Structures are given as structure tokens and as C-alpha cells.
Amino acid sequence: MENGLIHIYCGDGKGKTTAAMGLALRCLGNGGKVLVMQFLKDGKSGEISVLKSLGAEILPAYPDIKFSFKMTDEEKQRAAEFYTNSLEEIKAKAKDHDMLILDEILHAVNLGFIPLESLLSFLENKPANLEVVMTGRDPKEELLKNADYITEMKKLKHPFDKGVKARKMVEY
């Protein structure tokens, strides 16, 4: 890619990860190299295996994932260490890829699992040709200022509001 830009998919609506993975497919379909890291997820959603089979490099998900409000302080500390180390690995690998998907990193920053300053430093010093796609809710103002694309997914209606749980092949 000649001029890598920064994307943010945010909001309370469905489709943030789906949009990011669609860009990954487009990149792979055009011969690009994609690196994917999912934060706050188990790494087992349907799109991950397909992207991997198409040649995307998928970094390991945190092995003991659970909702942050169910974590002890010690578990939160271990998660923060894992994600901070993962960001360092991403920095080292980024130069060898055309696109980087950081799924749910915005929420990981909000929870304190990724230092905002570390992410901002990476974005400001990323390889010039690297397209970076970040997803999640409530992006920090500093991240919004660095983004070239910002798309907000707004929930107008969702089955979850009626008690319907996440469905395989649709929500994961």
C-alpha cells in the first residue's frame, strides 16, 4: 500500500468487527498481507479461521478471557500484561504487513489494558504503508484525531434487547 491510513469503526451498533474483517478480505483478495489481533475476545469467531486459511497472520487471543467486570484485580493485571506484550509484538511485525486489524482495541484502551500513550505512539510512528483498522466503543479523543476514517455504527434495534443471545454465524 502506498499510503497507509487509520480507520476507526466505533459505536454501540453491530458491524464493527464485520466491517474490519471485510477490509481484511479485500486486502487479502488483492494480494496484501494482513495481521489481526482480537482484544477481549477468545479468537474463535468464524471469520478468524477463514482469514487464517486465506493467509492472514492471526495473533493469539488472551487465553483466560472473560468480561472485565467479572475479573479480579490480579486477572486484570495479567490481561494488561498480555495485551501490552501483544502490542509490542504487533509493533515488531507491522512492517511486514499491508493491513493491521486491531479488533476491540478501543475498549481495551478504555479498560486500561493497553496504555493510550503506547497506542498513540505506535500510530504516529507506524510504517507509512500500513493501513490500521481499530474497532470498539467509545474511542478516546486522541485516537479520533489520528484517524483518517471514522465510522460510527449506531444501534437502532437489536435482538439482544429482547433477550436473544449472540448467534453463531451472525454475531460470532
What tens digit of pLDDT does each residue of 3-32 get?
Answer: 999 999 999 999 999 999 999 999 999 999
Which pLDDT belongs to residue 168?
A: 86
94 membership: H or E segment, kind and range: helix 73-94
More confident call, 138 vs 167: 138
Set of cell numbers at residue 170: 451472525
Rg of the Cα trace of the chain? 15
Q: pTM here?
A: 0.92
Contact, 11 vs 134, CB < 8 A?
Answer: no
Domain that holds residue 152: 6-162
Q: Residue 91: which CATH number?
A: 3.40.50.300
Bridge partner residues of 133 (DSSP): 7, 101
Per-residue pLDDT at 1 exceeds 70: no
Tell me, yes or no, whether 23 lies in a domain.
yes
168 domain-assigned: no
Instruction: Note whether residue 69 is domain-resident.
Output: yes
| Average pLDDT over every residue of 51-67 | 92
Q: Considering its fold, how many domains does the chain have in total?
A: 1
Q: Residue 171 domain-assigned?
A: no
55 burial type by CB count under 10 A (0-12 exposed, 13-18 middle, 19+ buried): exposed
* 86-102 residue pLDDT tens: 999 999 999 999 999 99
